[in-house]
Amino acid sequence: MHSKINPRVIALHAICSVVLNKKSLADVELPLESTDLSFAKSLIFGTIRFYHHLNDIVTPLINKPLEKDNLDLHCLLLLGAYQLLYAGTPTHAAINETVSVAEKIEKKWAKGFINAILREIDRNHKQILTTEHFSHPSWMVKKLKQDYPDQHQEIFRENNKQAPMTLRIHPSIGRQNYQQQLHSIGIESEPCPNTKQALILAEAINVSQLPRFFEGSCYVQDASAQLAGQILNPKTGELILDACCAPGGKTTHLAELCTDARIVAIDSDQNRLTRVEENIERFQLKNIVLKQGDAHNKVWWDGQLFDKILLDAPCSATGVIRRHPDIKLLRKPRDIKQLVKIQASILDNLWTCLKPSGTLLYATCSVLKAENEQQIENFLQRTKDAQHEAIELDWGMGEIGRQQLPSHEFDGFYYAKLTKLN
């Protein structure tokens, strides 16, 4: 099969899966040798990242609407335009190699059509790139401008960058020690402010290159997500619930910070729980009990009240768009209303599982106020025994909880710490 040897054909199939079939990038299988895989991925992620800008350029240049069976050619034009405008691919390669894909997908007749449009884009590329375009869906642009009148442009810019690879170093090894180990094998990194275990790598690498990775030396996890364990600060003898725990990054962090705390970790998805199990095994942690359970109800609960609860709530993931650019295509405005309802329902349910004077930490990887500040304000209004507690960290902004916007060091993230009154 041609597709196995041509990274642009692979990229096209993946782009069509997201754009035409509304499939998540995480669910797209890439049948490629590792040497071509990184190139194919860079084309896929780049084209999806700048989809809205590329689409606004390509669409007006197609004189006659394409038939349904030929919409893959529209995606092929997006792929070519990305190479010309954003990827730094030499012009002849960007055009000729993309045109040749038409033949490989058995649409030889379209070669002239693809060639003509890509050459038109190339002629105007300077003008195109000097015209500001946020490359986000219009509903999201509107919402972010509303929520962040002064910071929305910075959010758009950060969302369109590639996220760094960040590690959480096991406390028994120590961050400085591991940084030196990395340096000795030519891997450069920098410690991340406000976090005790985070190292940001200068370049993303395969985890197999990391010293003792498979023995549990570190975990790939953004610095914002690492703060959950730091803020909750598990202590000896505490019973702690990690609700919606998959894939287990925060679960294993809580467990490694205090091996004498007992962690109950639940998730409703059995397949995702398998990943949590794999992570627990890699770290050889003995203080975690895994249960399949839905945080909306108490079917999974044995009735013992928790000292602390981490609720990493289902959310729009608008704070991690740089890691998952397909969110810009797949997320719809109606999803936000539904998510806000789900979050409120889970908050109300889990609150009754918390001890008096216990702490619940609410977390999302969203930047939308409806899911964060406003969600917590509404919860405090309807929950008389709940009290907001300030998070003492020089991180993020806000009066109710802390909201971090996407930046070089941190994903967009929100935390709110709630205490239950006696």
CA–CA distance, 31 with 159 (Å, rounded to integer): 28
For residue 389, the cross-strand partners are: 417
Tokens of 211: 């010293």
**Which among 124, 103, 126 is positioned nearest to 114, based on CA atoms?**
103
Vertex 49: Cα angle to 43 and 50 (nearest 5)? 95
Contacts (Cβ under 8 Å, ≥6 apart) of 323: 163, 222, 411
Q: Which stretch of DSSP H or E encloses residue 419? A: strand 413-420
CA–CA distance, 68 with 106 (Å, rounded to integer): 16
Amino acid 396 reads G
**Which among 98, 148, 119, 89 is positioned nearest to 414, based on CA atoms?**
148
| C-alpha distance from residue 117 to each of 7, 16, 45 (Å) | 21, 19, 22
What is the set of active-site residues?
A: 365
* Helix locations, 233-372, DSSP H: 249-257, 270-283, 327-330, 333-351
356 preceded by a cis bond (ω within 30 of 0) = no
On whether the CB atoms of residues 114 and 62 are closer than 8 A, the answer is: no
On whether the CB atoms of residues 182 and 189 are closer than 8 A, the answer is: yes
